[in-house]
Amino acid sequence: MSDIEALPRSYVTEDGTLNSWLLTTDHKRIALLYFASITAFFFLGGAAAALMRLHLISPAGAIVSHETYNRLFTMHGVVMVWFFLVPAVPVTLGNFFVPLVLGARDLAFPKLNLLSWYLFMAGGLVVLWSLFWGGLDTGWTFYTPLASRYTSGYVVLAVVGIFLSGFSSIATGVNFIVTIHRLRAPGLTWYRLPVFIWSLYSTSIIYVLGTPVLAITLMLLAFERLFGVGVFDSTLGGDPLLFQHMFWFYSHPAVYIMILPGFGVISEIIPAFSRKTLFGYKFVVWSSVAIAVISFFVWGHHMFVAGQSLYSAIVFSLLSYLVAVPSAIKVFNWLGTLHKGWIRFDAPMLYALGFIGLFTIGGLTGLFVAALAADVHLTQTYFVVAHFHYIMVGGMVTAFFAGLHYWWPKITGRMYPEMWGRMGAAVIFFGFNLTFFPQFLLGYLGMTRRYASYAPEFQVLNVLSSAGSVILAAGYLMPLGYLTWSLFRGERAPDNPWNATGLEWKTRSPPPKENFVSIPTVTGAPYNYPHPAAQHG
C-alpha cells in the first residue's frame, strides 16, 4: 500500500472510508464503482460462455443437460447484454472522462449519477437472483409465448431486474445530454468536441428514447405472465409477433448503444497514435448521429422469417443497408487518418487496429444477413452468432480495452506494463478469430444456434471454436492480471504519457477531486497534433 500513498493528492486519496466511496458523488469514483461491477458481470457472463463452449466439444453435449445448457446461454446473453455491453463504455470511461474532456468539475447531476449505480446494482442483483435461484431458460430475447406462458423459469423476477437497470441507463443518458449541452469549457464549441463526446451524445439519445420501450415491453410480458392479460398470447387474443416488434424496437438500437461509444474511443486513439488530426472529422461526427437516428428504423431485420409481411421485410432490408453506410464511412476515415501518419504501436493502438479489422469483418458479414434471401438461410444459425460477436466482442470489447489502456494512466496514475499490454492485444485478437471464424462456416452449413446437441458432421468446427475460446479466455484474464498488478507496482504515470490532445491530459494523473485547478479555455479544433516535421525536430 505504500506505493498508493506515493501518489500525489487526488480523487483516489481524498478520503479512504468505505462511506466516502459508497456515497460519493464524484463522477470519477462512481466510474470506478461501475468498473468493479461490470468487470464482475463480464467474467460471470464469460464463465457461462466458457462452459457452453466446453459442452459443445461433443455432438451429444459433453457436460450439462439440455436444461442447464439453455440456462447457460440465457445467463450469458442477459448478463453480457444488459450488465456489460450496454453500460460498459458510457458508465466507466464515459463517466470518468466526459467531465474531464469537457473541462467540467463533474456531470450535471452528480447525485443522479450515484443513483444510477445503485439502480444498476439493484437490477443486477435481482437478475442474478432469478438466474441462480429459479433459473431462466428463455434466451435473452424472452420470445412469447414461450416466456409468457410455457417456461417455468423466473421470468418476472428477471424482467424486474432488467427494468431497474433500464432506469440506470436512462439516468446516465439524461446526465450526459445535459452535461454536454451545459458544462462545456469556455471556447469548447460543438465542432471542437472530440468524437468520443459526440459518440456518447448519440448513445445517450438512444438510451433515453429506446429504453422506455423496452421497459414497457417487459412489463407487458410480466403482466401477461402474472395476470393473464392478453397482449402477446394468441390464445388470449394477443399477438406473439407484437412482442418481437416491440422488443427489437429497443434491442436493435441497443446494438448501437453498444458500438457507438466504441467508435468514439477508436476515434480518439487512432489520431493520438498517428500524430495526425482525424480524417473527415465532421463526417465521423455526423455518421454517429445518423446511426443513432436510422437505428430506430431497422428492427424488422430480426424478423425476416418471423411472419411479418413481405413489404415490411423489403423496407427493413433497404433501411438496414442504409444504416451500414455511416459505419463504412467511419472505417474509411480511420484509414485516412493512418495515411501519412507517424504511427506508434503502444497497446491502445494495437487494440484499436484490432478493432478496425474485427469490426470490418463483423460489418461486412452484416451485409449477408441484411440481404433478404441470404438471411432466410443464415438467420438463427451460428453465422448470426459469429456476425454479432464480431461486432460486439471483436468490436466493442476490443474498443473497451483500447480505451482502458489509453486512459489507464490518467485513471490510476500508473502505467500498465507495455509488453504485457501488447501481448494481451495479440492473444485476444488470435483467440477471438479462432473462436468465432469457424462459426461462420458452421452457420452456412446449417448448424442452429441455441442447440445443446448437434449433428456429428459439425464437430470438427465446434472443437476448433472451443479451442479458440480457451485462448480467448486466457487473453481476457491477462489484462485482469497485469492491470491489477500495475495498480500496486506500475510505474508512475506522467500527466500526458501519449502527448495527446484533449483537456483530460491537461490535468494531473490521477486528477484531483475537482478535476482542474482552474477551468481551461479551448482555442482550437480537436486532434491538433503538431506537424510531424516539428515532432522529429
Partner 1 sequence: MNALTLPAASANAPEVDLLLFALLGGTVLVLALVFGLMLRYVAHYRYTNTKDRGRPEEKTWRFEIAWTAATLLLFFGLFLWGADLYVRQFQPPPNALRISVVGKQWMWKAEHPGGQREINALHVPVGRAVELLMTSEDVIHDFAIPAFRIKHDVLPGRYESLWFTATEPGAYHLFCTQFCGTDHSAMGGEVVVLTQPDYERWLADNAASVGVVAQGRALFTRYGCSGCHQAEGRGQAAAVDRTKNYSSVRAPPLDGVYGHPVPLNDGRVVVADDKYVRDSILMPAQDIVASYDNRMPSFSGVVSEADLFRLIAYIKSLSGSEGS
Q: Taking CB under 8 A as the criterion, which residues in 372-391 touch partner 1? A: 372-377, 379-381
CA 64 to chain centre: 29
**Cα–Cα distance between 377 and 305 in angstroms, integer?**
10
Query: At closest approach, how far in Å is the CB of 329 from partner 1?
Result: 6
Of 320-349, binders to partner 1 (CB under 8 A) are 321-322, 324-325, 328-329, 331-333, 335-336, 338-345
Which residue from 235, 518, 524, 534 is in contact with partner 1, where contact means CB under 8 A? Answer: 235
SS (H, E, C) 95-146: HHHHHHHHCCCCCCCHHHHHHHHHHHHHHHHHHHHHHHHHCCCCCCCCCCCH
Binding piece for partner 1, criterion CB under 8 A, among 183-191, 453-461, 472-480, 513-521:
453-461
CB 25 within 8 A of CB 118: no
The 3-state DSSP class for residue 447 equals coil
- Distance (Å, whole) CA 99 – CA 515: 8
In this structure, which amino acid lies at residue 434? L
In the set 38, 160, 291, 356, which binds partner 1 (CB under 8 A)? 356
Quote the least distance from Cβ 525 to partner 1, whole Å.
13
Q: Show contacts with partner 1 in window 397-436 (CB under 8 A).
A: none
Residue 460: CB minimum distance to partner 1, A: 5
Please report how close the Cβ of residue 301 comes to partner 1 at its closest, in angstroms.
11
Place of cell 422469417: 305
Alpha-carbon gap, residue 355 to 186, rounded angstroms: 34
Give the residue, chosen from 360, 439, 465, 486, that forms a contact with partner 1 under the rule CB under 8 A: 360
Q: How far is the CB of 229 from partner 1 (least distance, A)?
A: 17
Report the distance separating Cα 276 and Cα 340, nearest Å. 8
Give the x-and-dash track for 456-475 against partner 1 (CB under 8 A).
-xxxxx--------------
Q: Pick from 47, 57, 229, 371 the residue near partner 1 by CB under 8 A.
A: 371
Give the SS3 label for residue 448: strand
Which residues face 127 on adjacent strands?
none
Contacting partner 1 within 74-113 (CB under 8 A): none
Closest to 180 (Cα-Cα) out of 109, 87, 279, 276 = 109
> How far apart (Å, rounded) are the C-alpha atoms in residues 453 and 65?
10
Q: Element (H or E) spanning 149, and its range?
A: none
Tell me how long the chain is: 537
452 touches partner 1 (CB under 8 A)? yes
- Binding of partner 1 by 190 (CB under 8 A): no
Q: Per DSSP, what are the bridge partners of residue 492?
A: 414
Residue 304 contacts partner 1 per CB under 8 A: yes
248 is an interface residue for partner 1 by CB under 8 A? no
**Footprint of partner 1 on 140-169 (CB under 8 A):** 141, 143, 145-146, 149-151
| 515 is an interface residue for partner 1 by CB under 8 A | no
- Which is nearer to partner 1, 207 or 247 (by Cβ)? 247
Query: Is 318 a residue that touches partner 1 (CB under 8 A)?
Result: yes
Cis ω on the peptide bond leading into residue 8 (within 30° of 0)? Answer: no
Q: Does residue 491 bind partner 1 (CB under 8 A)?
A: no
* Identity of the residue, 336 or 520, whose beta carbon is nearer to partner 1 in the bound complex: 336
Q: Minimum distance between the CB of residue 384 and partner 1, rounded to whole angstroms? A: 10
Is 64 a binding residue for partner 1 by CB under 8 A? The answer is: no
Question: What is the Cα gyration radius of the chain?
Answer: 23
Q: How far is the CB of 239 from partner 1 (least distance, A)?
A: 8
Among 283, 420, 430, 437, binds partner 1 (CB under 8 A): 283
- Angstrom CA distances, 465 to 66, 96, 264, 365, stand at 20, 36, 30, 18
Q: Could you give the CA distance from residue 160 to residue 141 in angstroms, rounded to a whole number?
A: 15
Least CB distance from residue 377 to partner 1, whole Å? Answer: 4
* Alpha-carbon gap, residue 518 to 507, rounded angstroms: 10
Nearest to 155 by CA among 134, 173, 132, 182: 134
Task: Scan residues 252-281 and list those touching partner 1 (CB under 8 A).
Answer: 274-276, 279-280
C-alpha closest to that of 392 among 422, 436, 353: 436
Minimum distance from residue 141 beta carbon to partner 1 (Å): 8
One residue of 209, 306, 426, 427 binding partner 1 per CB under 8 A: 306
Cα angle vertex 167, ends 163, 172, to 5°? 145
> In angstroms, what is the minimal distance from the CB of 438 to partner 1?
11
Q: How many residues bind partner 1 (CB under 8 A)?
A: 91
Asked if 454 touches partner 1 (CB under 8 A), the answer is yes
Please, which residue, 362 or 510, has the CB nearer to partner 1? Answer: 362
User: For partner 1, which residue of 22, 36, 226, 314 counts as binding (CB under 8 A)?
Assistant: 314
Cα–Cα dist 162/138, whole Å:
14
> Which window, 122-130, 138-146, 169-177, 505-513, contacts partner 1 (CB under 8 A)?
138-146
- Which cell numbers in the block locate residue 105? 468539475
